[in-house]
Amino acid sequence: MVDKSIILDDKKFTLGIFDDPDKLLHSVETLKDKGVKIFDCFTPFPVHHLDKALGYNRSNLTIGAFLCGFLGALSGFTLAYAMNVADWPMIIGGKPNDITMFTSFIPVIFELTILFTAFGMVFMFFARSRMFHGIKEDILDVKQTDDRMVLAIDNSVEQTISSTEIMTTLKEAGAIDVKGNEVAFNTSHSMDRGAFIEDTTIGTRSKTTNTAEEIVEEVTEEVEAKVEQEIKEIESSVKKSKNTLSEEEKSARLSTIKHVLGEGSIENKDDLKKISGVGPKYESTLNGIGIYSFEQVSKMTPEAIKAVEEITNYFPGRIERDDWIGQAKKLMTK
Amino acid sequence: MYQADIRQPLVTGGKTYSDVTEDICRPIENKPTNSWWLGFVIALIFLFILVATLTWTVWEGIGTWNVNKTVMWGWDITNFVFWVGIGHAGTLISAILLLFRQKWRMSINRSAEAMTIFAVFCAAIFPLFHMGRVWLAYWALPLPNAFGSLWVNFNSPLLWDVFAISTYLSVSLVFWYLGLIPDIATVRDRATNKARKFWYGFFAMGWNGSAKSWGRYEVVALILAGISTPLVLSVHTIVSMDFATSVIPGWHTTIFPPYFVAGAIFSGFGMVLTLLLIARHVMNYQNYITVEHLEAMTKVILLTGSIVGLAYITEFVIAAYSGYQYEQYAFANRMFGPYAWAYWTMMFCNLMAPQVFWSKWARTTPWFIFIISIIVNIGMWFERFVIIVTSLHRDFLPSSWIMYHATWVEVGIFLGTFGLFFTCFFLFAKFLPVINMAEVKTIIKDKE
């Protein structure tokens, strides 16, 4: 009765990561048309028609629910009959105490029917989905319960088309990321959510690789990540001792900012506080280095962002993470 | 799907999926705000009042209440029916509105269901302690009597109540928990500390959002909604039978079941509005609980308020028409007797006040809705008070006529249940997602 495939242990998957349910649905349909066997999809919310597209039948839990309800009704009747008719009839207010008091049983029968149906069905649901308290979750992408939709294809299953073809199809269908060789992991292995979200492909999960090329790639990536991490650490330790930039460096940064964002002026000043991440104090800092308007913020390039972060001692990476450019663009149109 | 331009979006502010997660997880992942602490401490003080007055009741005996041979049900059963009634909106919103495919339910169903559960906790206190010897409360269960083979009486609506309320509480809990699982999993996968990871992981039961699970999940949710709908209707029907199957003038009427159910939904929506208007303001959820939501709820208030009003008038007309002097007296006594003030308060709050919602301005002005929602809460408490006390205090035997006034203990218990209710609600708002993230994510691009 239990569906074994729900447990994803040790399987290797090709993943397509999506940020739009329609694109996910579309790519499921495209892959199905090509005869690709899809393992399952993982979404943060129910995507309509996805189960049909994947070829799943409607769950049979309804039959179980009916049986539970029937059992409940039977128990209700048995309970009342055994107590008030069979075992110990009571005469209260001259009311009937034989089977003709059946009408008085109806509320109890009704309530027990519902009680049994609800609990029976929910327990069956948990059993069928292999859910119980304390089980470790299998997660393929840490954001699959947040805003990412994951399409998983089991690599051990023979497919009609090659894995590269599958991956290109996924890319073409609008996947924001395609990964070739992933295993499920458990979010409790790593507490550092930041590391996950910044870069979900590196080292933090146990990975198995097939080709030498991939191994080299992965090792390089990991080394790069480590170096990056170290640089960040050094940067942040340096940040702590303030005024790290010499005057020359400052003016260099300022000219970069001016060059990229153009001259701002107090006249067309926008309320930069509307950008999440900017408070009153930081707003005046930004004004101090010549950034006044949403238009300027929206024009930011990676180098300008870096310059702004360095010159204002702002949290490295935060501007991109909070998507200031996108925010500013939205705010401009308002 | 085609959507008319005239429709308003269900979620405003151009939210993305990750915005929804961020916004709704914020109270869980951050330290509580000062307003949360203020509210929580006040609620705890009232909870303390509840514990103190209940302890006193048990210690000193049921004589600390003013209920007696004539008015054997006073504030206690009034409060019981009041709280059970409030509990009805939660299941109504999540079950009946699900069957009717009303998408606006999605951002309010979680908190309304929580409210249901906490309200039923509060309600259960009253009949239990009214038994006097609360440690013998298990005698209400279908167990053999300790002195022989006497069983519970299945002819009694009070026994039906035991079954109805306990089923209602447990099924509501299951429904609520099932809806919470995907959201608990979201919190789990965002958790940054071990305790949160462990506890949310424990309660998420390994949920990973696979399409197979979602398929089953939706079937289960639909069936639960399908069976919860008659359950909601049955619970207050059975509560009304506590009265209607008796022979007391003013209680012995066939109109009671539908009238009580409408009243329960009316009072439930009153309380939902009170709570959500506070919550959306304090937690900045104006984009999720929009004015459209408020307007939809005020329409339910208007409808059920009118049904209740119609029932009041019908009851009165039927009593006058019955030619039965006791029935006629019971209603004349309600309107012009010593408790007339309670009757007219009820008429004003439940029949008149909600009629302002015919105006679009009234339906879309939050502060004004808040005032009306409070009036509805007060009115529905008085409805139960009027039904119970005015029907009892002058019975068939004029020598036993009395006036009933609550003692400080009874008042304290009632105020204390608000403490219990709000303590639970504040804890809920801190530890669980107040809005169903998974469902809201399906409608952020939709319109009403």
A144 interfacial to chain B (CB closer than 8 Å):
yes
pLDDT tens digits for B331-342?
A: 999 999 899 999
Torsion of CA A61, A67, A68, A71, to 10 degrees: 180
Asked if residue A195 belongs to a domain, the reply is no
Residue range B215-228, pLDDT digits in tens? 888 888 888 888 98
pLDDT at residue A204, as a whole number? 38
Is A149 domain-assigned?
yes
> What pLDDT shows up at residue A325?
81
Q: Is B9 inside a domain boundary?
A: no
Instruction: Assess whether A186 and A251 both reside in one domain.
Output: no
Residue B18 pLDDT more than 60?
A: yes
- Among B11, B210, B229, B442, most A C-beta atoms within 10 A, so best to mutate, is B210
**A132 contacts B197? CB cut-off 8 A:** no
Q: How far apart are CA B146 and CA B129, in angstroms?
A: 21
What spatial distance separates the first Cα and last Cα of chain A, rounded to whole Å?
A: 55
Reported ipTM: the value is 0.89
Rounded CA-CA distance B331/A63 in Å is 50
A293: left (phi over 0), alpha (psi -120 to 50) or beta: beta
Q: Which two tokens stand for residue A222?
A: 């990991």
How confident is the model at residue A328, as a pLDDT? 81
> Is the CB of residue B399 less than 8 Å away from at least one CB of chain A?
no
Residues near B16 by beta carbon (within 8 Å), at least 6 away in sequence: A147, B444
- For chain A, what is the domain count? 2
Say yes or no: B230 contacts chain A, CB-CB below 8 A: yes
Structural domain contains residue B78:
yes
Number of domains in chain B: 1
Q: Which of A190, A206, A237 lies at the terminal end of a domain, its last residue?
A: A190
Q: What pTM did the predictor assign?
A: 0.77
Residues 6-25 of B with CB under 8 A from A: 14, 16-18, 21
Half-sphere exposure of A53 (CA within 13 A, CB side): 23
Nearest chain B residue to A94, by CA: B155
Q: Residue B135's pLDDT is what?
A: 87
Q: Which of B197, B214, B442, B445 has the highest number of chain A CBs within 10 A, making it the mutation to test binding with A?
A: B214
Under a CB-based contact definition with an 8 Å cutoff, are residues B378 and B371 in contact?
A: no
pLDDT of residue B33 exceeding 90, the answer is: no
Report yes or no: A256 and A304 within 8 Å, Cβ to Cβ: yes
Residue A311, pLDDT > 90, answer no
Contact A191 B224 (CB under 8 A): no
Closest in A40, A142, A191 to B211, CB measured: A40
Parent domain of A137:
1-190
Average pLDDT, chain A: 76
Residues 6 or more apart whose CB falls under 8 angstroms from that of A212 comprise: none
* Residue of B16, B172, B220 for testing the chain A interface, max A β-carbons within 10 Å: B220
Nearest Cβ partner for B167 among A59, A114, A192: A114
Q: What angle do CA A276, B108, A322 make, to 5 degrees?
A: 15
* Confidence band, pLDDT 50/70/90 cuts, at residue B356: very high
Q: Do A262 and A179 reside in the same domain of the chain? A: no
Distance from CA of A236 to the nearest CA of B (A): 21
Q: Read off the pLDDT band of B414 (50, 70, 90).
A: very high
C-alpha count within 13 angstroms, C-beta hemisphere, residue A65? 19
B213 to A129: CB separation less than 8 angstroms, yes or no: yes
Separation of alpha carbons A79 and B375, rounded Å: 44
Asked whether the beta carbons of residue A45 and residue B238 sit closer than 8 angstroms, the reply is no
In a domain, A165, yes or no: yes
Whether A87 is covered by a domain: the verdict is: yes
- What does the pLDDT read at residue B125? 92
pLDDT at A4 > cutoff 70: no
Q: What is the mean predicted confidence (pLDDT) over B187-207?
A: 84
Which of A155, A190, A225 is the endpoint of a domain? A190
In chain B, pLDDT over 70 holds for what percent of residues? 96
**Band of residue A163 on the pLDDT scale cut at 50, 70, 90:** confident
Q: Given CB atoms, is A46 within the 8 Å cutoff of chain B?
A: yes
Summarize the confidence of residues A219-225 as an average pLDDT.
70
Does residue B8 belong to any structural domain of this protein?
Answer: no
Provide the β-strand partners of residue A179.
A15
Looking at the fold, whether A184 and A321 belong to one and the same domain comes out as no
Establish if A229 touches chain B: CB-CB under 8 angstroms: no
Token pair listed for A142: 């840490």
What is the domain extent for residue B49?
17-134+151-443
Residues A292-307: what's their mean pLDDT?
A: 81
- Across the interface, of B215, B234, B438, the residue whose CB is closest to A56 is B215
Q: Is B185 on the interface with A (CB under 8 A)?
A: yes
Strand spans (E) along chain A: 13-18, 40-42, 149-154, 177-182
Question: Are A157 and A294 in a shared domain?
Answer: no
Is the pLDDT at B374 greater than 90, yes or no?
yes
A256 and A177 within one domain: no
Q: Are residues A54 and A148 in the same domain?
A: yes
Average pLDDT (B420-438) is 90
What pLDDT, on the 0 to 100 scale, is given for residue B43?
93
- Helix B256-282 to helix B291-322 angle (10° resolution) is 160
Angle between helical axes of B211-244 and B256-282 (0-180°, round to 10): 130
What CATH number is associated with residue B326? 1.20.1630.10
* pLDDT for the residue numbered A5: 40
Q: Could you tell me which of B62, B182, B36 has the C-alpha nearest to residue B133?
A: B62
Same domain? For A160 and A295 the reply is: no
Q: How many CA atoms lie within 13 A of A167 on its CB side?
A: 12
The answer to the question of residue B171 being in a domain is: yes
Place of tokens 């049983």: A105
Residue A223 in any domain: the answer is no
Per-residue confidence band for B59, with pLDDT thresholds at 50, 70 and 90? very high
Question: Chain B: nearest CA to A314, how far in angstroms?
Answer: 22
**Statement: residue B119 has pLDDT above 90:** yes
Instruction: Say whether pLDDT at A304 is over 50.
Output: yes
Is A79–B142 a contact, with Cβ atoms under 8 angstroms apart?
Answer: yes
Find out whether B205 and A135 touch, Cβ atoms under 8 Å. yes
pLDDT band at residue B118 under the 50/70/90 scheme: very high
Closest Cβ opposite residue A118 in set B142, B174, B189 = B174
**Per-window interface: B 138-157 vs A, CB < 8 A:** 142, 149-157
> From the list A44, A88, A130, which residue is nearest B150 (CB)?
A88
* Residue B312 within any structural domain of the chain: yes
Does one domain contain both A48 and A144?
yes
pLDDT of residue B207: 86
Tens-place pLDDT, residues A78-121: 998 988 888 888 888 888 888 888 888 999 999 999 999 999 99
A100 touches chain B (CB under 8 A): no
Mean of all residue pLDDT scores within chain B? 87
Kindly list the residues from chain B whose CB atom is less than 8 angstroms away from the CB atom of residue A125: 178, 216-217, 220
At residue A191, the pLDDT reads: 46
B343 vs A174, more confident: B343
Q: Is A179 helix (H, G, I), strand (E, B) or coil?
A: strand
Question: Is there a single domain that holds both residue A35 and residue A172?
Answer: yes
Percent of all residues in chain A with a pLDDT value above 70, rounded to a whole number: 81
In a domain, A227, yes or no: no
Assess B205–A contact: CB distance below 8 Å, yes or no: yes
Are the Cβ atoms of B21 and A146 closer than 8 angstroms? yes
Q: For A10-28, what is the mean pLDDT?
A: 82
